[in-house]
Amino acid sequence: MSGVQSIERAFSILRVLARGPLGVTEIADRAELPKSTVSRLLNALEAEGAVEQVEAGGGYSVGSALATLGASSNPSAGLRSVVRPFIEELAMLTGGSAGFTIREGDTAYWVDDVDDGDELVKLADQTGQSFAMHTIPSGFAMLARFSTDALEEYLASERVSADGEPLDVDELRRRVGRVGFDGVVVSREEFDAGVNAVAAPFRGPDGEWVGALYLQGPSFRFPEDGDERRVVKLVSEAAMQLSERLVAS
Amino acid sequence: MSGVQSIERAFSILRVLARGPLGVTEIADRAELPKSTVSRLLNALEAEGAVEQVEAGGGYSVGSALATLGASSNPSAGLRSVVRPFIEELAMLTGGSAGFTIREGDTAYWVDDVDDGDELVKLADQTGQSFAMHTIPSGFAMLARFSTDALEEYLASERVSADGEPLDVDELRRRVGRVGFDGVVVSREEFDAGVNAVAAPFRGPDGEWVGALYLQGPSFRFPEDGDERRVVKLVSEAAMQLSERLVAS
DNA sequence: CGGGATGTTCCGTCATGCGGAACCGTACCG
DNA sequence: CGGTACGGTTCCGCATGACGGAACATCCCG
């Protein structure tokens, strides 16, 4: 026994319950444990608030204590912790929400987002999700760095994707062609209703374009009047510094 | 031993770590356990993803598995589960976010909120927080139901609250006085920048005004053009039906 | 280099957790 | 109404899993 049996079993039970409330017998079946063992462990977990009895004799579900403890979990190390200080500073300097996505094949994966502003109107948190690259500003910024061949390959594969609205490949080519030498993408509600955004790509250790930083916010308050040039400069410089940091590692 | 010692100790350790990353010796001190016991339990928790080692020899923190499990925790029963179908229907019928607050002394406590729309621009989730009643639409709707004496007492106590901006008691009295017989409060960005809201109070089992339902959203899209009267009617009727439901119980 | 602090591993010991059986409560059916 | 089936709880003898002190390894500092 290398671990602690009770803890292994307790987490087994919690994972079974993560899919939805269940009774003791069903939990025992799925966790492959005797009912008396399950009953005892559920009582212990209930005492800690980790499970709750839905109603007397009616089943158990995951308890609020795990939500509380889970709220304090640490973000994992790696790229996210390297990039985090950059996006925290961008958010602080501009009042927008700042974050980054990374390229995963033909999609952009939303890794992190910071929005410390105390305004009520905010953007929904989209971290942990993937999007076709041409559908979000930071993905588009990476797309604009594709070679001509890679871009055509992407357009061909996206053309066949069932995406509801058919893809206007020529229009997408034109928009990619209009992105400037610095690679910065400025969106004035072009990607999402009511949202302005600025995005810039950054390089990974091997020099390839791996991700893009962005700043965004509701268009009635972001960027502030006359502030767009400053915001563009901040994102562009942050992406450049981040690239230098990652290439050097 | 009524519970399971290992589980009690494991959660002890997790609660110590919820305040921030710590080393084995420090955890042993705070949890009042031998270091070897802590080390073994940490290894078991790490195997489940419930803790993560920050760096080799450098300390431990709460792991992402708890966030995952915590995300599946069940909302508690009680008032919230009674009200939930009402606010789900309000959100579904209008595209706004719907929820309710309850009176707690001089504050309004934000109990629940539903926002199933797929728009990007949303309102921040404020459940679990308390606000002075006059500062949010649903709190204001409850305030408008105060007796004259109770209102004056509230105004007197709020006048002395250190709130930054001094309270304009006369203006607040006038606004309370303008609330119609049906008790519905309509806000066009009066409480929060960029937010429209409609709120109506509801009664508890003893007939007292215990809470208020609301609908709200970013003002560029909520309510939809020409839809305000329908929204007001929906909220008002829902609050009335809810009152009848609670008084009958 | 020696001392101090931290974290890990070992292993003899025994208290704890295990699980089968019995029991209880509820619902259903003939 | 009585019998059956099912789900959940409690009991208790027992085997083993968890315990914790000691020893060890590593790192840092004066």
Output the six-digit token pair for A90: 């961008």
pLDDT at B162: 45
Q: Which of B21, B68, B194 sits opposite A220 (nearest CB)?
A: B194
**B7 contact A CB<8A:** yes
**pLDDT tens digits, one per residue of B93-109:** 888 899 998 887 778 87
3-state secondary structure of B113: strand
**A8 contact B CB<8A:** yes
Please provide the DSSP assignment of A30-76 as one string.
HHT--HHHHHHHHHHHHHTTSEEEEETTTEEEE-HHHHHHHTTPPPP
**pLDDT tens digits, one per residue of A146-155:** 888 888 888 8
CA distances from A154 to A71, A103, A212 (A): 38, 13, 18
**B70 contact A CB<8A:** yes
CATH numbers and ranges of domains, chain B? 5-70 (1.10.10.10), 79-248 (3.30.450.40)
**pLDDT tens digits, one per residue of B21-38:** 888 988 998 888 999 999
pLDDT at B113: 84
pLDDT at B184: 93
**pLDDT tens digits, one per residue of A149-179:** 888 888 887 765 545 566 788 888 888 988 8
pLDDT above 90 covers what percent of chain B? 25
The rounded mean pLDDT for chain A is 83
Output the six-digit token pair for B151: 């209102």
Q: What is the CA radius of gyration of chain A?
A: 23
Single-letter residue type at B1: M
B234-243 average pLDDT score: 90
pLDDT above 90 covers what percent of chain A? 25
Which of B33, B41, B74 is most worth mutating to test chain A (most A CB atoms within 10 A of its CB)? B74
pLDDT at A77: 40
Which positions in strand D are less than 7 Å from the protein's CB atoms? 6-11, 16-22, 27
Interface of A with B in 179-198 (CB under 8 A): 192-195
pLDDT above 70 covers what percent of chain B? 89
Q: Which of B15, B69, B119 sits opposite A14 (nearest CB)?
A: B69
The rounded mean pLDDT for chain B is 83
pLDDT at B72: 65
What's the pLDDT band for A1 if we cut at 50, 70, 90? very low
Provide the β-strand partners of residue B213: B100, B200
CA distances from A199 to A80, A90, A155, A245 (A): 17, 12, 21, 18
**pLDDT tens digits, one per residue of A191-223:** 888 899 999 999 887 778 888 999 999 998 888
What's the pLDDT band for A226 if we cut at 50, 70, 90? confident
Res. A75: pLDDT tops 60: no
> Do A134 and A140 touch, CB atoms closer than 8 A?
yes
Contacts of residue A218 in chain B, CB cutoff 8 Å?
121, 194, 218
**B248 contact A CB<8A:** no
pLDDT at B115: 80
Alpha-carbon distance of B87 to A246, in angstroms, equals: 48
**pLDDT tens digits, one per residue of B38-66:** 999 999 998 888 888 776 556 888 877 77
Alpha-carbon distance of A166 to A158, in angstroms, equals: 9
Alpha-carbon distance of B247 to B249, in angstroms, equals: 6
Residue among A45, A15, A17, A4 nearest B47 (CA): A4
- Counting Cβ atoms within 10 Å, is residue B83 exposed (0-12), middle (13-18) or buried (19+)? buried
**pLDDT tens digits, one per residue of B167-223:** 788 888 889 988 888 899 999 998 888 899 999 999 887 778 889 999 999 998 888
Alpha-carbon distance of B247 to B243, in angstroms, equals: 6
First to last CA, chain B: 41
**What was the ipTM of the complex prediction?**
0.48
pLDDT at A17: 86
pLDDT at B76: 38
Res. A2: pLDDT tops 70: no
* Residue written as token pair 């950054």: A202
3-state secondary structure of B102: strand
> For the sheet containing B107-114, what is the strand order?
B130-132, B107-114, B97-104, B209-218, B195-203, B185-188
CA distances from A207 to A43, A105, B28 (A): 54, 17, 45
